[in-house]
Structure formats: structure tokens, C-alpha cells
Amino acid sequence: MSAPSNVIPLWTSGEAAAATGGKASHPWSASGVSIDSRSVEAGDLFVALAGPNHDGHDFVEAAFERSAAAALVSRRPGARAGARPLLLVVDTYEGLNTLAARARERSHAHVVAITGSVGKTGTKELLAGALRRCGPTHASAGNLNNHIGVPLSLARLPQGARYGVFEAGMNHPGEIAPLSRLIRPHTALITTIAPAHTEAFSGLDGVADAKAEIFQGLEPGGTAVLNRDNAYFEHLAEAARAAGAGRIVSFGEGADADARLLAWRPAATGGSVSAAIDGAEVEYEIAFSGRHWAFNSVAVLAAAKAAGAPLAHAARALRAVAPGAGRGVRHRIPLPGGHCALIDESYNASPAAVRAAIATLAEAATPAPGGRRVAVLGDMLELGTEAKRWHAELACDLERAGVDLVFTAGPLMAHLHQAVDPARRGVHAPDAESLAAIVEAEIRAGDVVLVKGSLGSRTGLIVRHLVATAAADVPSAPRS
């Protein structure tokens, strides 16, 4: 399938063959790149990656049935392959990486790379939204931030993009450096250094060093945007300078920050922000709830300005960026006598992220008469030997926030269940699936309910249960 004549194709068979050293069986042009046959869109180049459980070559035909333009393969995938547009390479993963490198090489976009212990994906979405107001912008979809997601996102970078925004994540030392060298950012933003995915590290120093790998691919004279309020600011700044950064831009709340959060005024959803970016004061709104997102929005504007975007345009665009699923989405759950407000933070969790979510619950609209602030928390995973302590210490945050009732799920959250004040102690369950019906039975009209946990703790099941049950059946009699 060919791209419309008035649109520059993302890849042609000749360009892709030159980039990968592969051989095209037929001429073709593609408008996208996909690695999942189930989500292939018409005109995509399907890359048949071989993994530990599945081999993409087994799904090439399915990709063509969804109107893929061509398939990047390392072997002919079936009897009908001879009639299909193929790009034959030695290794499809390396082929994807060489496509990514070529896409970056031919691009004239200002490229921003984002990493950090928490807030990476939301910050990436906010920055992409801000930059889209200022010019054609390409950003990695979802949280495609690993050794497959980053090259896939880069391979999708259109030639005409003015800005590119890419997220880089890690679970172990040494993972971000090759991603950064592939991205080659002009601006690198680190949200913060905090306990998250610490299982493979001896301490936060190791986490900071791993995040600092984002500077290894920084373009000469590039900009590092760093959290001035974080204890690792100077450590990261030194690493950035050593890698050739030409400018360090700090963000925070103190007077010594280049980009400052001056005020945060929460609303029913989101809120309004006052900030000063390099001395220029700006007022704007965001749809994300919580002071931590106001703080991150200041980092976003600092990065947007470093990318050359007009500050006023970028700030106005932030209101239109909605939080993603499991990242603060609000639901209104109908119940007898009214409704409860559900804050879905079920996508992921770390001590810093859970504390921020608890603070958001505290500043949420005051529960209706008879209502309570309710926290439903699942295990925070990949925290290593300190995991039990990090879970138990959340009891102090819950008490300070005035949370009325705390439900917990998972073996690690059992330590919080024991530590929390008995007056606030709800039910503890072995897993999220067991807790879902219990929470449904216990919440009542007027409550404000927060659900949060690591993705592996599956607290999203609780959210889906509450939303689905409320949609299917609203009892007519009030609950006691």
C-alpha cells in the first residue's frame, strides 16, 4: 500500500533497505511502524520481532490481513510470502534499531529525552501537548521507554516533525545509556530521583547514576533540565556537564531555581498554576490533579522553552492534556443516595508516587456529608530489601493527610495494614482481586476513593470492578 501522493511517506522500501542493509522483495511505502499484528494500521511496516514466548514471523500474515504495507523479516514467513512486500534482514531487532538511528539522523526536530524515578510518562505527555501547540510534534506512545519501545518510537519519527519527545526507562544499570545514544537528545529532563525500581541497586546513589546515563547521548552543548529541590541535583548537574551539556536549567520551588512553581490552586479536577520560567511569570491551568503535577508542569515549560517553543503558547496548551488511564483519571461512581469520587492511580506505584497520591487525596474536594477519604493501596514492587519499611512508613503520610479508611492488598501492604492506626484500618486482602468486592461493599455516597498500586499488584482490577458494577447495577436501597 502506498501513502497518499501529497504525504511524505514515513519509509519507502529503498530508504528502509539502505538503512538496514536489507533487501526489499517489492517496492512499497509505509506510513507507520508496528511490532504487534493486533494493532497494525493500514499502511504500517510490520516488524516481526522474535521474543522468548512469541515469534513475530508467525503473525506476518495476520499483519497483512490488517493491510500492512510491508513486513520486516529475517526469514520468509510462509507459503504466501513470495507475493508479499517484504524487507529481508539478518536480524529484525537490529533492523528496527537501524531504522531508528536513520530516522533520528534525518530529522531536523528538537529532540527531548525524559527519564526519572517517577512521573516520566505524564511529564512526557504534558510536554508533547505543550509542543504540539507550537509545531508538528512526535512523541513516544504510552510508556514505550525500553530497548524495544525507544527504537520503535524513533522509527516512527516523521521527517517533518519540529519537536520529538521520548521517554527512557530502566530496571537495571546500563539500560538508559544505549537508549540515550539512540535518541541523541538536544534536551534531557530528569523528573526526580526517588526510591523506585531499586531492587537492582544498592541505594539511591546507584539509581541517580543510572538515570544520569540519559546524558550519554546528549548532543554537544545540549541542555539538562533538573530538579533543584532534589538531593541529587548537584550530582546530576556534574554528570551532565561531564557529558558536554552546555546549560543546566533547574526547576523547583526555591528562589534559586531557574523555573519556579510560585503557587498551586487545586480545583475539582486539575487546578491552576503560577510559575516563573527564567524570570517570566506565567499563569495556566492543568487537567492533572495534585501539587506534584503542578511541580512537573514547571519542568515541562522549562524544557519547552529550551526547545525554542513560545512560553505562552506552551503554557496555554497544558489544560488540554488529560491524564492517561491509571494515572489520576477521575470517575463518578453512582451509589444509593448519591455518588462517590474515584481517583484511579492504579498504573504504578513507588513510595514517592504513593505519597504524592495521598497528598492529592487530601487536597481533593471535601467529601460530602457522611463521606470519607478512602485509600485502597496495593503492593509497591521492585523495592528490594527496604520494601517492608517503605510500606509501613506510609502510615504517617495517611495520618497527616487525614485519610479516614485504608484498605490494603498484597503481602507487602500487610506491613502498612499493621502500622496504620486501628481507627483508620480497613480490610487487608491477599491480592487486589480479593479486595475488589470488599471495597465495593464498604464505600458509600460522599466518599472520595483513591486506588493505587504497582502495575504488577493489579489494583486496576479494583477500579474496573467499581466502574463496571456501578454501570451495571445501582441498588435502590441505601446502604447502612
Which residue, 320, 343, 367, sits at the end of a domain? 320
Q: Which residue has the cell 548532543?
A: 219
pLDDT digits (tens, 9 = 90+) for 462-476: 999 999 977 665 444
pLDDT at 250: 98
What's the pLDDT score for residue 78?
76
Tell me whether residue 101 is in a domain. no
Residues in the chain: 480
Does residue 448 lie within any of the structural domains? yes
Domain that holds residue 441: 329-471
Distance of CA 253 to CAs 11, 264, 436, 456, Å? 45, 11, 39, 33
CB 328 within 8 A of CB 344: yes
Cell of 238: 556534574
* 3-class DSSP assignment, residue 147: coil
Q: Which residues, given as ranges, of the chain have pLDDT below 70?
A: 1-6, 79-82, 365, 471-480
pLDDT at 6: 54
Q: How many domains does the chain have?
A: 3
476 occurs within a structural domain: no
**Grid coordinates given for 215:** 546524558
Backbone φ and ψ for 325, nearest 5 degrees, come out as -55, 130
Torsion of CA 104, 105, 111, 114, to 10 degrees: 50
Identify whether residues 159 and 221 lie together within a single domain.
yes
Identify whether residues 253 and 207 lie together within a single domain.
yes
State the pLDDT at residue 472. 64
What does the pLDDT read at residue 82? 61
Is 392 found in the same domain as 339?
A: yes
Q: For residues 294 and 403, state if they share a domain.
A: no
Last residue of a domain, one of 271, 292, 320: 320
The per-residue pLDDT for 131 is 98
Looking at the fold, whether 351 and 405 belong to one and the same domain comes out as: yes
Q: Do 73 and 139 belong together in one domain?
A: no
Same domain, 425 and 343: yes
* Pairwise CA distance, residues 313 & 419, whole Å: 47
- CATH number of 198's domain: 3.40.1190.10
* The overall pTM is greater than 0.85: yes
99 occurs within a structural domain = no
Cα 69 to Cα 63: distance, rounded to the nearest angstrom: 9
Residue 295 sits in the same domain as residue 175: yes
- Provide the pLDDT for residue 98: 98
Structural contact between residues 462 and 439, judged by C-beta atoms closer than 8 angstroms: yes
Q: Do 449 and 356 belong to one domain?
A: yes
